[in-house]
């Protein structure tokens, strides 16, 4: 049973525009959320995270928003660059757990 | 410091053969995870270890899969016998849990398995 859901398998955005990747979760015990980025033939790498006590965390061009009441988070990339083209995985963890629960990923393509 | 090292990077085998995937975690990390990536299921947790002891293997699909961690610097994931539906990319990840750590796993580059 998928507790972290990324319902958009793919997204295409023009360079310079905003990319918005969405993620929903079902487990109310999750209290920490992460985004990972994965290039082909490489392992996922950590991108940005947010604790459930916050509703926004920003790191350069990347911002993650958390809406706990809706059990929804989103990753905003502004401005998008061709090098951002990758698969983005949403992940969640609870204070009592040690393993991350991942979504299926969203493939982002940023076109020039 | 070297990252998580996995071998082989690619494995092509025939149905029924035994497959062994290997992982060397980052030195000092006390948790090791095996994940599998498929198009249908994304990244799913198979098993994880703490200080070389298996903690949760509920994600292991069936008895054909087994994992060991004989010491802090080495783990194996074995599939015997392999089947075409096992074709996937298998990732190993590690972390040192501690105060202030909130779960950013370090992943290896993966082992792509193709079972014909």
The predicted-structure confidence for A94-109, as pLDDT tens digits, reads as follows 866 778 899 999 999 9
Give dist(CA A87, CA B85) in Å, integer. 23
Q: What is the mean pLDDT of chain B?
A: 93
CA A61 – CA A79 distance, rounded (Å): 7
Is the CB of residue B102 less than 8 Å away from at least one CB of chain A? yes
- A69: pLDDT strictly greater than 90: yes
And the tokens for A111? 């076109």
Tens-digit pLDDT profile for residues B8-24:
999 999 999 999 999 99
Report the residue of chain A nearest B9, measured CA to CA. A41
B41/A104 CB distance under 8 A: yes
Give the whole-angstrom CA distance, residue B108 versus residue B92: 6
Q: How many CB atoms lie within 10 A of CB B69?
A: 21
What burial class does residue A68 get, using C-beta atoms within 10 Å of its C-beta: 0-12 exposed, 13-18 middle, 19+ buried?
middle
Closest CA to B3 of B23, B22, B30, B21: B23
CA distance B18 to chain A (A): 23
């Amino acid at each position: 049973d998928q507790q972290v859901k990324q319902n958009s398998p793919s997204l295409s955005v023009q360079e310079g525009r905003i990319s918005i990747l969405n993620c929903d979760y079902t487990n109310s015990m999750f209290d920490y959320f992460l985004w990972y980025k994965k290039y082909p033939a490489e392992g996922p790498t950590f991108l940005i995270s947010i604790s459930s006590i916050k509703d926004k965390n920003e790191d350069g061009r990347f911002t993650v928003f958390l809406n706990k009441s809706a059990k929804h988070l989103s990753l905003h990339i502004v401005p998008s660059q061709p090098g951002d083209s990758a698969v983005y995985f949403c992940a969640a963890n609870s204070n009592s757990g040690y393993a991350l629960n991942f979504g299926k990923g969203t493939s982002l393509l940023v076109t020039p | 410091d070297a990252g998580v090292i996995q071998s082989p990077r690619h494995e092509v085998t025939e149905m029924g053969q035994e497959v062994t995937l290997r992982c060397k975690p980052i030195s000092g990390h006390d948790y090791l995870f095996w994940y599998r990536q498929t198009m249908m299921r994304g990244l799913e947790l198979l098993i994880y270890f703490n200080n070389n002891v298996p903690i949760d293997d509920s994600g292991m699909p069936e008895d054909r899969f087994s994992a060991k961690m004989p010491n802090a610097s080495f783990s194996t994931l074995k599939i015997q016998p392999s089947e075409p539906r096992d074709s996937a990319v298998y990732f190993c990840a590690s972390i040192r849990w501690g105060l202030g750590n909130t779960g950013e796993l370090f992943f290896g580059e993966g082992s792509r398995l193709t079972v014909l």
